[in-house]
């Protein structure tokens, strides 16, 4: 055997060893004989050509997860789900006197007397409680003292925003409730959770908001059980933020509950909240909560402006031109939107009247009484 042949054989042996070594290395690198990544264009063998599998895996892991919206605990409060909810009436319990209101009434009556107007308190008032979602809510009920044998109409009174400090049962609605009661209407004013003698509200600021229409829905069913109330003659009176609650109830129920709104908050959610918040610490907390909420939920499902077509009740809206909280334009836009769906809506703009319509209070409440009597056919 010549020198040349010996070199060829050595080279051939080295080449075989190298080929075998590479094959073994590839099998081990690909995860053993059970894997087939070597033959897969997406497998690890393609690292030969610069593909960094580790970096690709890290990139995949860094992708934001797709959030499935409207499945959290607040989904129960969106309008579509509330429309499916079975509203439950409970016993309305009389629990005592409404002392603060009783002490304030003589002053009101005396003021009218000085103007030559006699106001009789021809009704009785009681503090009450009812249940909603297993929680107790307090309120005030006025019951006309009458000899009539027929059942009486009822108006649900929904107050606007109130501070917890200095709050008393019947706050925000008792004067209007008294005047309606003098004219033959049973009135029920609710305090909402966290106020009066009610149980506490949710620690989640948005759930505390969303619970309010639910309380009204259950109150209506509770009122229908009262033996002296005509369940076919139920109306709603609401002021300010209570107006948005009232509109929510009309949409969710699609019932013919004639409704009066005083300076209602018709600016849709969440603008209705955000536009009243400043950059103070409490305001920033609210803004952040809404920002987080909108990552998980579709806020359109919680806003009155997306469900106007569901309303089946006549509305009377009063708005003062000097109101610093609610705008005339909001009410004009609200009316136009309702009219697109051929809804029955009346807008009464009061020149020089404030958020509480103080400057035209007597005219406005008289208009309300006439409206309720007309729409309830009394």
Taking only the tens place, the pLDDT of each residue in 330-342 is: 999 999 999 999 9
Q: Going from the N-terminus, what domains does the chain have, and what CATH number goes with each?
A: 3-61 (no CATH), 73-375 (3.40.50.1820)
- pLDDT over threshold 90, residue 288: yes
What is the model's pLDDT at position 312?
98
Write down the mean pLDDT value for the chain: 88
Main-chain dihedrals φ then ψ at residue 120, nearest 5 degrees: -100, 135
Q: What are all long-range contacts of 327-336, with beta carbons under 8 Å and residues at least 24 apart? A: 327/267, 330/266, 330/267, 331/264, 331/266, 333/266, 334/264, 334/266
- pLDDT over threshold 90, residue 306: yes
Model confidence pTM above 0.85: no
What is the model's pLDDT at position 222?
98
User: For 278-350, where are the alpha helices, taking DSSP H only?
Assistant: 281-296, 328-340
Task: Indicate the burial class of 105 (C-beta count within 10 angstroms; 0-12, 13-18, 19 or more).
Answer: middle
Mean pLDDT, residues 119-124: 94
Of 36-50, 84-98, 211-225, which range is least confident? Answer: 36-50
Mean pLDDT, residues 344-355: 98
Of 13-22, 285-294, 331-340, which range is least confident? Answer: 13-22
Mean pLDDT, residues 157-175: 95
Distances (CA, A) of 41 to 21, 38, 46, 47, 273: 22, 8, 6, 10, 55
What is the model's pLDDT at position 212?
98
Percent of residues, the chain, with pLDDT higher than 70: 82
SS3 content of the chain, % helix, strand, coil (to 5): 45, 15, 35
The token pair that represents 5 in the structure block:
């042949």
Mean pLDDT, residues 14-37: 54
* Three-state secondary-structure class, residue 194: coil
Reported as a pLDDT band with limits 50, 70 and 90, residue 22 is low
Percent of residues, the chain, with pLDDT higher than 90: 78
What is the model's pLDDT at position 146?
82
């Amino acid at each position: 055997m010549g020198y040349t042949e010996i070199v060829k054989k050595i080279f051939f042996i080295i080449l075989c060893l190298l080929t075998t070594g590479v094959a073994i290395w590839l099998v081990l690198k690909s995860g053993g004989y059970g894997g087939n990544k070597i033959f897969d264009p997406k497998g690890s063998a393609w690292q030969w050509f610069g593909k960094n599998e580790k970096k690709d895996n890290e990139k995949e892991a860094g992708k934001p997860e797709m959030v499935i919206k409207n499945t959290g605990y607040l989904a129960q409060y969106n309008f579509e789900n509330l429309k499916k909810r079975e509203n439950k009436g409970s016993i309305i319990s009389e629990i005592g006197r409404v002392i603060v209101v009783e002490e304030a009434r003589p002053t009101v009556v005396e003021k009218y007397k000085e103007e030559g107007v006699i106001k009789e308190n021809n009704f009785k008032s009681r503090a009450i409680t009812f249940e909603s979602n297993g929680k107790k809510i307090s309120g005030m009920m006025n019951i006309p003292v009458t000899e009539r044998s027929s059942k009486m109409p009822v108006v649900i009174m929904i107050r606007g925003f109130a501070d917890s400090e200095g709050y008393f049962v019947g706050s925000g609605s008792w004067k209007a409730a008294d005047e309606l009661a003098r004219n033959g209407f049973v009135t029920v004013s609710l305090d909402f959770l966290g106020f009066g003698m009610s149980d506490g509200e949710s620690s989640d600021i948005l759930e505390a908001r969303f619970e309010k229409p639910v309380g009204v829905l259950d109150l209506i069913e509770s009122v229908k059980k009262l033996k002296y109330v005509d369940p076919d003659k139920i109306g709603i009176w609401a002021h300010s933020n209570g107006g948005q609650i009232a509109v929510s109830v009309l949409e969710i129920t699609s019932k013919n509950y004639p409704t009066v709104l005083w300076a209602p908050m018709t600016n849709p959610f969440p603008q209705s909240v955000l536009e009243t918040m400043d950059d103070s610490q409490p305001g920033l907390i609210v803004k952040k909560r809404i920002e987080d909420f909108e990552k998980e939920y579709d806020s359109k499902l919680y806003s009155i402006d997306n469900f106007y077509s569901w309303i089946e009740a006549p509305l009377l809206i009063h708005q003062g031109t000097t109101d610093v909280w609610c705008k005339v334009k909001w009410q004009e836009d609200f009316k136009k939107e309702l009219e697109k769906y051929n809804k029955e809506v009346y807008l009464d703009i009061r020149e020089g009247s404030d958020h509480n319509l103080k400057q035209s209070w007597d005219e406005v409440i008289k208009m309300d009484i006439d409206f309720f009597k007309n729409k309830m056919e009394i």
